[in-house]
């Protein structure tokens, strides 16, 4: 039975045919026929009961070296184009018969009450943090071309097109696919941290700049229809922040100079975008009718006072842009001071708005002028205020260097009580700790220079200071001291990030000690953000154990914050993949502990997920709608706390899973060599994914490997191990020991049912037979027994899931996803078999030709596209 909608299937077929035409035209019939043969064999493999890939492997093995690159590129580009068609379809009105946002608000007003929903909408605070995690494989050049393809597909769906318009759109598609085909799909050079920040700005410029005011209009209209109250012109329920250019954790390429450059670029970009708005408003606001106060204060008694006001704003924005250009060029700026607060923009804009309303031109005021006002509220003076992130050890070593220099001994060697006593003493002292004439080490100097940079920048351009691997109260206090010593005059929100299993367990104790401190309570003004790390905790302990530890930590922190009268915002450091805390927003919100989303939440959006969720205006509007609906539900109608028997069973399941996970990953001496030889972990560096190294430290093994390449490597070989290792032991235990309790959890606990759904999605994308082929080609036979154990566990996970969900096949409850995977597999599988062959050649000979190395990189990008995520 075909479940993929007609329009989507037609678009996939159309793009495939156009790509085939390009291939035929530029590479001839021989390559075209080989691609078709491989595609058909891939389809046969996926449709057969046995999944025998012998004929497909035989065909791939017989390919001449000169043919491998164009064939790999053909399959890669088909997968990219299929993703575009799917993304475009699901962002269209046709893909959904219901409005998730309006339906949610209607239901909440019915169950909770109109006034409560209206109040919650006005208080909603969703913070979305764009991070530069190196998971975006696709080049920005190609992203722009893919956006053009999506735009043409959307235009083509119109029913009022003349034939010549249809022909024009087809020609545009052909041209764009030609451009795509003749553009390298992988970068030659690793992007710099500044390049990554520019990519973040481009997402705002090309998508969010128009999506945000459009969405706020929709939200305001829905709120008025359902609650009788609008959201107000001065409230934006979400704001965007960034780690791009601020995240220096384990990344020596992000320096204080880079942070300064990114902050100035953000102010330049903001000024440039606002200038476009002001130019448009200058043309529109030609009215002469105004209020006397506006004419006097802003209009300078000109014939067209609103235009005169716009000219004043324009001059300030041009000064800001020129200041940024001169500063970036290393010149001493001679222009007037740049705009440094959003109030400088809002005051004249709001004066225009109020005057227009007062003279009876509210419709005019509520047009493009309101859009610009809302943009200022959302994006401020720098588009995305920057978070600074650094590892706790860097702060510890910096203070240790100071204490040793001034003769106080080694701070690093002191116990926690002594550290805290020292830090509080220094924080309450009026004397500086750091000597003025002192030459610290390069690492310590960089920590201090970063803090000096924070002191120099306008407060509105910065957001939080995140401490990675936070373990003790002293880790937080150390940052407060360093910032003060460097001249920061405002209380920067300092956010501990609890990442490993032990850190999550320790988090409540750490925060209790801090919240019981009078000095600290005054510093935070009873407002605290705590970050929960999903990636590293899952890598440390396995998915189910980490997920339960995160739940418990959040639950306890919420209770402790309430007890200490602290307003808590939880910051969720989720990745794109299930193994790193990713998954649908609705499921993630619904599975949070009750009371942990009190109208406010902070979430990272990482790598390629930024493009999938916010890369196109219509997609961005849909994503924002999902976030608002899910946050409202979690705030106003949270699920009940888990029953005692659920807690007991999930704790036992967690123990079973943790034992198995660490038994394999930490204790089995075969594991590291198996991982290194089976996966392309060591070859991933060829992709030049991002500015950050794959490891936190140059030395070290699996434990120092970042969660992103860890997940990426397993995903490439289709084993997807980080998301399910330990799961069959946990599920088997529950089925045998407490089947009734387990059934109750599946039916009535969103936290657990969401975990099962995400686990099922990962297993649905895995393929043990492909992983076995990698093993056969690349792994020493001495380690094959471990592979058999892992693939048996993978299969066991599938069997247990089907039993628990009472279904005949995996993803039976999500047939559209199942079919989407089945459509992609005939194109993804050949890339896997090719990749294994190319890895074998490179490792055996030490090197391969430039074309074959390029083909290897293309297979990595293509498999990522086929799986719909990287790390």
Which region holds residue 602: left if phi is over 0, alpha if psi is between -120 and 50, else beta? beta
Q: What is the chain's Cα-based Rg?
A: 28
User: What is the C-alpha to C-alpha distance for residues 355 and 285, in angstroms, rounded to an integer?
Assistant: 12
Nearest to 451 by CA among 427, 485, 423: 485
User: What is the C-alpha to C-alpha distance for residues 802 and 812, in angstroms, rounded to an integer?
Assistant: 9
DSSP assignment of 402-471 equals HHHHTTS--GGGS-HHHHHHHHHHHHH-SS-SS-SS----HHHHHHHHHHHHHHHS-GGGEEEEEEET--
CB neighbours of 490 closer than 8 A, spacing ≥ 6? 459
Say which of 539, 543, 572, 765 is annotated catalytic. 539
Tokens (6 digits) for 251: 């990344």
CA dist list (Å): 98 to 103, 416, 459, 853:
7, 55, 42, 47
User: What is the C-alpha to C-alpha distance for residues 340 and 735, in angstroms, rounded to an integer?
Assistant: 60
Say which of 27, 34, 133, 419 is annotated catalytic. 133
DSSP assignment of 784-800 equals HHHHHHHHHHHHHHHHH
Catalytic residue flag (residue 784): no
Q: For the purposes of burial, counting CB atoms within 10 Å of the CB of 460, is it exposed (0-12), middle (13-18) or buried (19 or more)?
A: middle
The 10 Å Cβ neighbour count of residue 341 is 13
Catalytic residue flag (residue 377): no
Tokens (6 digits) for 362: 């509210």
DSSP state of 704: G
- Cβ proximity of 573 and 497 under 8 Å: yes
- Cβ proximity of 461 and 490 under 8 Å: no
Place of tokens 């000690």: 513
The 10 Å Cβ neighbour count of residue 780 is 11
Nearest to 850 by CA among 184, 192, 190: 184
Place of tokens 């801090």: 514
User: What is the C-alpha to C-alpha distance for residues 85 and 82, in angstroms, rounded to an integer?
Assistant: 5
Helix (H, G, I), strand (E, B), or coil: what is residue 134? coil
- Cβ proximity of 327 and 396 under 8 Å: no
CB neighbours of 214 closer than 8 A, spacing ≥ 6? 617, 621
Please calculate the CA angle 691-692-694 and round it to the nearest 5 degrees: 135
- Cβ proximity of 470 and 476 under 8 Å: yes
Nearest to 257 by CA among 450, 419, 405: 450
CB neighbours of 479 closer than 8 A, spacing ≥ 6? 395, 465, 467, 494
Tokens (6 digits) for 79: 């997968």
CB neighbours of 33 closer than 8 A, spacing ≥ 6? none
User: What is the C-alpha to C-alpha distance for residues 170 and 153, in angstroms, rounded to an integer?
Assistant: 9
Helices of type H across 91-127: 100-111, 114-123
Tokens (6 digits) for 474: 């002293």
Known catalytic residues are 133, 539
């Amino acid at each position: 039975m075909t479940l993929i909608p007609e329009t989507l299937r037609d678009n996939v077929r159309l793009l495939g045919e156009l790509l085939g035409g390009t291939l035929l035209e530029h590479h001839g019939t021989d390559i075209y026929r080989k691609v078709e043969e491989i595609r058909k064999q891939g389809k046969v493999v996926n449709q057969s009961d046995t999944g025998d890939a012998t004929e497909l492997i035989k065909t791939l093995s017989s390919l001449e070296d000169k043919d491998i690159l164009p064939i790999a590129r053909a399959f890669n580009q088909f997968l990219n184009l299929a993703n575009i068609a799917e993304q475009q379809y699901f962002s269209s009105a046709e893909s959904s018969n219901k409005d998730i946002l309006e339906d949610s608000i209607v239901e909440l007003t019915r169950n909770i009450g109109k006034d409560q929903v209206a109040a919650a909408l006005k208080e909603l605070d969703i913070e979305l943090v764009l991070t530069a995690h190196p998971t975006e494989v696709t080049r920005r050049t190609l992203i722009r071309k893919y956006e053009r393809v999506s735009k043409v597909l959307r235009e083509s769906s119109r029913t009022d097109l003349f034939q010549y318009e249809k022909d024009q759109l087809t020609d545009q598609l052909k041209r764009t696919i030609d451009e795509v085909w003749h553009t390298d799909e992988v970068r030659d050079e690793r992007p710099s941290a500044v390049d990554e920040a520019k990519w973040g700005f481009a997402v705002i410029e090309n998508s969010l700049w128009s999506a945000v005011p459009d969405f706020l209009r929709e939200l305001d209209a829905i709120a008025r229809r359902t609650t009788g109250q609008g959201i107000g012109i001065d409230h934006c329920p979400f704001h965007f922040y960034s780690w791009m250019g601020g995240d220096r954790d384990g990344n020596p390429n992000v320096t204080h100079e880079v942070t300064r450059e990114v902050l100035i670029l953000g102010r330049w970009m903001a000024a440039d975008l606002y200038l476009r708005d002001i130019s448009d408003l200058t043309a529109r606001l030609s009215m002469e009718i105004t209020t006397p106060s506006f004419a006097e204060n802003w209009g300078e008694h000109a014939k067209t006072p609103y235009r005169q006001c716009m000219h004043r704003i324009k001059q300030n924005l041009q000064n800001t842009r020129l200041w940024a250009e001169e500063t970036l060029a290393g010149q001493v700026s001679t222009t007037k001071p740049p705009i440094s607060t959003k109030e400088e923009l809002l005051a004249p804009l709001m004066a225009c708005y109020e005057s227009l309303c007062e003279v009876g031109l509210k419709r005019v005021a509520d047009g493009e002028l309101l859009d610009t006002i809302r943009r200022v509220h959302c994006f401020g003076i720098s588009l995305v205020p920057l978070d600074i992130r650094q590892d706790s050890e860097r702060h510890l070593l910096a203070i240790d260097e100071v204490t040793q220099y001034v003769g106080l001994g080694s701070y690093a060697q002191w116990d926690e009580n002594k550290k805290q006593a020292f830090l509080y003493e220094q924080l309450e002292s009026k004397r500086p700790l750091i000597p003025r004439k002192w030459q610290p080490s390069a690492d310590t100097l960089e920590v201090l220079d970063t803090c000096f940079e924070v002191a120099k920048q306008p407060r509105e351009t910065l957001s939080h200071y995140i401490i990675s691997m936070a373990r003790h109260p002293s880790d937080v206090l150390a940052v407060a001291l360093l910032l003060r010593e460097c001249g920061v005059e405002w209380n920067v929100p300092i956010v501990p990030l609890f990442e490993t299993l032990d850190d999550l367990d320790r988090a409540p104790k750490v925060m209790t000690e801090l919240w019981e401190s009078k000095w600290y309570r005054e510093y935070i003004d009873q407002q605290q953000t705590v970050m929960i790390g999903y990636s590293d905790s899952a890598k440390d302990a396995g998915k189910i154990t980490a997920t339960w530890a995160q739940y418990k930590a959040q639950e306890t922190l919420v209770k402790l914050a309430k007890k200490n009268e602290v307003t808590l915002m939880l910051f969720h450091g989720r990745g794109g993949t299930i193994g790193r805390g990713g998954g649908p927003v609705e499921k993630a919100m619904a599975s949070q502990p009750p009371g942990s989303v009190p109208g406010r939440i902070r979430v990272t959006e990482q790598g390629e997920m930024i493009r999938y969720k916010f890369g196109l205006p219509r997609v961005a509007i849909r994503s924002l709608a999902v976030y608002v609906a899910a946050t409202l539900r979690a705030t106003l109608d949270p699920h009940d706390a888990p029953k005692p028997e659920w807690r007991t069973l999930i704790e036992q399941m967690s123990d079973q899973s943790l034992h198995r996970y660490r038994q394999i990953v930490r204790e089995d001496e075969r594991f590291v060599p198996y991982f290194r030889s089976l996966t392309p972990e060591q070859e991933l560096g060829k992709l030049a994914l991002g500015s950050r190294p794959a490891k936190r430290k140059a030395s070290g093994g699996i434990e120092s490997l970042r969660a992103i390449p860890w997940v990426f490597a397993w995903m490439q070989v289709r084993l997807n191990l980080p998301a399910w290792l330990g799961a069959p032991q946990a599920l088997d235990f529950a089925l045998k020991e407490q089947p009734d309790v387990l059934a109750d959890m599946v039916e009535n606990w969103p936290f657990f049912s969401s975990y099962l759904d995400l686990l099922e999605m990962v297993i649905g994308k895995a393929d043990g037979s492909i992983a076995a082929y990698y093993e056969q080609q690349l792994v020493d036979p001495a380690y094959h027994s471990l592979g058999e154990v892992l693939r048996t566990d993978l299969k066991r996970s599938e069997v247990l899931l089907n039993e628990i969900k009472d279904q005949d096949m995996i993803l039976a409850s999500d047939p559209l996803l199942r079919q989407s995977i089945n459509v992609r597999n005939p194109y993804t599988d050949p890339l896997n078999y090719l990749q294994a062959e190319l890895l074998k050649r490179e490792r055996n000979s030490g090197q391969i030709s430039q074309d074959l190395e390029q083909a290897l990189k293309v297979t990595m990008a293509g498999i990522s596209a086929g799986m719909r995520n990287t790390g």
